[in-house]
C-alpha cells in the first residue's frame, strides 16, 4: 500500500467521520428537543458499558454540551460487575483522556446471577434488573437528574416486535420515562439514530470497545431473530424501517382494539332527520 493511497483513505475517513458526526449530533439534538430530555441545570449520568452505543452517546453529548444554548453537566458511570476477563483499565484510561468526570461502581452481580440462574439459561434478565437497581441508587445518591442510556432506533424497533411476537403487546422503548421506583428520569438520546451509523462512527473514532459476551451468556435468541429480520427488511425494502418508526410516533387509538385507550362504548350514531342528512351530503359533494 503506497503512501499516497494511505493518505487518500485517511482523507476519505475524515470526511465520512465529519458527515457521521453531524448526522448523529443532529439526530440526538432532535430527540432531546422533541422529548425535552435535557433541561437547563440538569446533571446527566451517562451510563457507559464499553460498547459502541454508549461510547457514541457520551461522545455526542459532550460535543453538544459545548454548543448547547443551555447549561448542563455530564458525568460518565460504568458498573464493573466483576465478570471474568473484564479489562478494568480500559474505561478509566479512556475517560481520563477525555477529562470527563467519571465513576466506576464495583459490584459482584456476576456471582449472584450465576448462583441464581441454572446452567444454560439466559442470564440477561436478572443481570439487567440488578444493574438497573444499582445505577438508579447511584443516580439518587449523586443528585443526577437524568440517566442516559445508549439504546438506539434499532433497539426500539426490535423491542416493539419482540413484544408483539412473543408478549402479545404493542410496547417498545420510550425515549424518555420515569423509573419504576419514581426516583429517576431515564432518557435515550440515541432514539433517532440508526445502529449502522453508530457502528461506523465508533469504528472511525476508534473507541476502545469491550466485548459484551464476557459473562458467557448468549444474546436472547428471540431478539437476535428479530434483529436479523429487520436487517433483511432494511436491505430488501429501503425506507421500510423509517416508515415503521414513524408509525410508533403516529398512533391512532380509535383505529386499534384497546378499550383502555379508546372508549368504544360511548360511540354514538349522529342523530338527524333524513332531510338534514341529505343536505349535508350535498354540501360535501
Residue pair 145/44 in contact (Cβ under 8 Å)? The answer is yes
Q: Is 257 annotated as a binding residue?
A: no
In angstroms, the CA 150 to CA 29 distance is 14
Contact 83, 110 (CB under 8 A): yes
Separation in Å, CA 15 to CA 187, 195, 245? 30, 20, 28
Partnered with residue 73 across adjacent β-strands are: 43
Q: Measuring CA to CA, which residue among 232, 254, 225, 230 is closest to residue 244? A: 230
For 220, residues 6+ apart whose C-beta sits below 8 A from its C-beta are: 122, 124
What is d(CA 163, CA 223) in angstroms, rounded to the nearest whole number?
10
Q: In terms of Cα–Cα distance, which of 82, 92, 85, 83 is closest to 48?
A: 92
Determine if residue 127 is labeled as part of a ligand binding site. yes
3-state secondary structure at position 132: helix
Annotated ligand binding at 215? The verdict is yes
Give the integer Cα–Cα distance in Å for 117 and 126. Answer: 8
| Grid cell locating 159 | 423491542
Q: Which residues are annotated as a binding site for [4Fe-4S] cluster?
A: 124, 127, 215
Q: Which residues are annotated as a binding site?
A: 124, 127, 215
Amino acid at each position: 500500500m503506497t503512501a499516497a493511497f494511505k493518505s487518500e483513505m485517511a482523507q476519505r475517513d475524515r470526511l465520512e467521520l465529519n458527515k457521521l458526526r453531524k448526522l448523529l449530533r443532529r439526530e440526538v439534538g432532535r430527540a432531546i428537543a422533541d422529548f425535552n430530555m435535557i433541561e437547563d441545570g440538569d446533571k446527566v449520568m451517562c451510563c457507559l458499558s464499553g460498547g459502541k452505543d454508549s461510547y457514541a452517546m457520551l461522545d455526542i453529548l459532550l460535543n453538544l454540551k459545548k454548543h448547547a444554548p443551555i447549561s448542563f453537566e455530564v458525568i460518565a458511570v460504568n458498573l464493573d460487575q466483576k465478570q471474568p476477563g473484564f479489562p478494568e483499565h480500559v474505561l478509566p484510561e479512556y475517560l481520563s483522556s477525555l477529562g470527563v468526570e467519571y465513576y466506576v461502581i464495583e459490584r459482584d452481580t456476576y456471582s449472584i446471577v450465576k448462583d441464581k440462574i441454572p446452567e444454560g439459561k439466559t442470564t440477561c434478565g436478572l443481570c439487567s434488573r440488578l444493574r438497573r437497581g444499582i445505577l438508579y441508587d447511584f443516580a439518587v445518591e449523586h443528585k443526577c437528574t437524568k440517566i442516559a442510556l445508549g439504546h438506539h432506533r434499532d433497539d426500539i424497533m426490535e423491542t416493539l416486535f419482540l413484544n408483539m411476537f412473543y408478549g402479545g403487546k404493542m410496547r417498545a422503548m420510550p425515549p424518555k420515562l420515569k423509573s419504576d421506583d419514581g426516583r429517576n428520569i431515564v432518557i435515550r438520546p440515541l432514539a433517532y439514530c440508526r445502529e449502522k451509523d453508530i457502528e461506523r462512527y465508533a469504528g472511525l473514532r476508534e473507541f476502545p470497545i469491550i466485548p459484551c459476551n464476557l459473562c458467557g451468556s448468549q444474546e436472547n435468541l428471540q431478539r437476535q431473530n428479530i434483529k436479523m429480520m429487520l436487517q433483511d427488511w432494511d436491505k430488501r425494502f429501503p425506507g421500510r424501517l423509517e416508515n415503521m418508526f414513524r408509525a410508533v410516533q403516529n398512533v391512532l387509538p380509535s383505529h386499534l382494539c384497546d378499550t383502555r385507550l379508546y372508549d368504544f362504548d360511548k360511540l354514538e350514531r349522529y342523530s338527524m332527520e333524513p332531510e338534514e342528512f341529505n343536505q349535508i351530503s350535498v354540501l360535501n359533494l
